[in-house]
Amino acid sequence: MYSCPWDMYVRSPDVYHQKTVHLNPSGFLAPLTVHAPPPALVLDVGCGSGRDLLWLKQRGYNVLGLERSPGLAKLARKHAGCDVLCADFDLFDFTTLSVDAVILIGALVHVPKDRYPATLARILQALKPGGHILLTMKQGEGTRTAKDGRVFELWEDQDLREVFTEMGLAMVEAFTNPSTLGTGEMWLGYVVEN
């Protein structure tokens, strides 16, 4: 268990859903469409509100979500109109899946740096050879604790690139985006290939 109170996502799924569901994800999802065009099967790990699932589905992708919070999983299913597995990515057997792409949009922001490579490797067991990964992480140094107690791991570009290299992942594209919530934070985004 991480130092992040996961209970917030379980106790208040409606709050998180309303905060994120109407944000436009085009800026950070569009790079995937270049490298893994539809009708690719995309697994959205930590799919939250289902916003990204719906965006991809509307563009011809086959989509599957995975969400730890039962309340968010239910809301994502309803919003995106697709299957959403209710499971913890630390416990789920990803070898049971075979997908063309995996997206991790802020999904690993609470994972401590020393556990990050192992967590990512575990999730990527769902990916077909030559598949693509789209992931975003908050930019910065150290950690940041939000008012609600959630602890966010912050990353510098070179540190994430080192992780990808050590894991044998090929960098395909890198980009940065400001937070769609208007917080002034910057997000690092990557498309990598296994």
Question: What pLDDT digit, counting tens, does each position of 116-147 carry?
Answer: 999 999 999 999 999 999 999 999 999 999 88
Cα 6 to Cα 124: distance, rounded to the nearest angstrom:
22
- Phi first, then psi, for residue 39 (nearest 5°) are -95, 40
Would you state the pLDDT for residue 5?
Answer: 47
Would you state the pLDDT for residue 15?
Answer: 64
Cα 4 to Cα 115: distance, rounded to the nearest angstrom:
14
- Phi first, then psi, for residue 6 (nearest 5°) are -55, -25
Would you state the pLDDT for residue 150?
Answer: 82
Cα 105 to Cα 89: distance, rounded to the nearest angstrom:
14
Query: Which of residues 147 and 16 earns the better pLDDT score?
Result: 147
- Phi first, then psi, for residue 191 (nearest 5°) are -115, 120
**Token couple for 124:** 């990527």
**Token couple for 63:** 């989509």
The DSSP letter of residue 139 is: B
Query: What is the percent of the chain where pLDDT is above 90?
Result: 80
The Cα-based distances of 50 to 14, 55, 85, 91 in angstroms read: 12, 9, 12, 21
**Token couple for 4:** 């992040």
Provide Rg for the chain, Cα atoms.
15
Which domains are assigned to the chain?
Answer: 7-193 (3.40.50.150)
Phi-psi region of 81 (alpha: psi -120 to 50; beta: other; left: phi over 0): left
